[in-house]
Amino acid sequence: MADSQSQDAAAKQRILSHMNADHHDSVCRYLEHFCSVSSYKARNARLADISLESMTIAAAGKHHTIPLNPPMKSWREARERLVKLDKDALEGLGRSDVTVKRYTRPRGLHALVFAVCILSFILVSRRANALPGSYIHDNVLGYAPAFAAFTATVQPVVLWGMVVGHLIESVVLARKLERYNVPMLSGLWWQWITSCFIEGFGALQRVEAVAREERLAKEKAKH
C-alpha cells in the first residue's frame, strides 16, 4: 500500500512539473476555456494539483477546479486525457495549436522601414518641426525649403493617417496574437503591438514567420 501511494505521489508530481514547465500554454487554455477566465488573468496560470477526478489551476490569486469526466482510472491515462482537454480548449477558443513564444526584431528591409517610420512620426508629430526656429528645420529641412513648406502643410493629414493606419494594423496583429496563444497585455504582447504601431505590416509578417517556425519545430518533434 505504501509503495502504491508513493508511486501515485511521484506520478502526480511528474505531471505537475511537466505541465507547468513544458505546457504552460495548455494550462492557460484550460483556464480560459473551461473556467471562462480572460487570457490576461490566465497568463501566469500554473497547474497546482491534479487527481484522478479533477485538476486545480491557480491564477491571479484564485484556484479553479476543472472536473475530469469521466474520472481517470489510473495515472497512465493522464497524458491522453490532458491532450484531449487541450484539443477541446483549442477548438472552443478558436486558437491555433502553435504558440508564439518570442519576439523577433526588425532586420533588413523591415529595419529600414522601422527607422523610416520612427523618423516620420517624429517629423510630423507637430507642425512646428517643419517651421523655422525648430531644431529639425534649422538643421535638416532648412536645406530643402520647398520640402519643409510641403511638410508643414500636410503635417496633420500625414500624422493622423499614420496613426489610424498603424492602429488598424495593430488591431489585426492583436487578433493574430490571440490566435497564437499570446496572452493579452503580457510583456511579449506589448513588444509585438508596440513594434506594429511603429512599423506596421512588417510586424504582421514576422509573427507569421515565427508561427511557421514553431509549426515546423512541432512537426519535427513528432518524428
| Alpha carbon distance 188, 36 (integer Å) | 22
* Cell output for 100: 508564439
Q: State mean pLDDT over 33-62.
A: 94
Q: Is the dihedral of CA 70, 74, 80, 83 positive or negative?
A: positive
| Alpha carbon distance 199, 155 (integer Å) | 18
Backbone angles phi, psi at 133, to 5 degrees: 105, -20
DSSP H or E run through 64: strand 62-67
Instruction: Report the predicted TM-score, pTM, of the whole model to 2 decimal places.
Output: 0.84
193-202 confidence digits (pLDDT tens): 999 999 999 9
User: All domains of the chain, ordered by start, with CATH?
Assistant: 2-93 (3.20.180.10), 109-221 (no CATH)
CB 142 within 8 A of CB 184: no
- Exposure string of 161-172, with b = 16+ CB inside 10 Å and e = fewer, is ebeeebeebbee
Q: State mean pLDDT over 128-153.
A: 92
- Residue 68's Cβ-side half-sphere holds a number of Cα atoms within 13 Å equal to 23
154-168 confidence digits (pLDDT tens): 999 999 999 999 999
Of 41-45, 108-112, 216-220, the one with minimum mean pLDDT is 216-220
* Cell output for 113: 522601414
Omega of the bond leading into 70 within 30 degrees of 0 (cis): yes
Whether the predicted pLDDT of 5 surpasses 90: no
Backbone angles phi, psi at 144, to 5 degrees: -135, 75
| Alpha carbon distance 180, 131 (integer Å) | 45
Q: Is the dihedral of CA 134, 140, 141, 144 positive or negative?
A: positive
Phi-psi domain of 99 (left: phi exceeds 0; alpha: psi -120 through 50; beta: other): beta
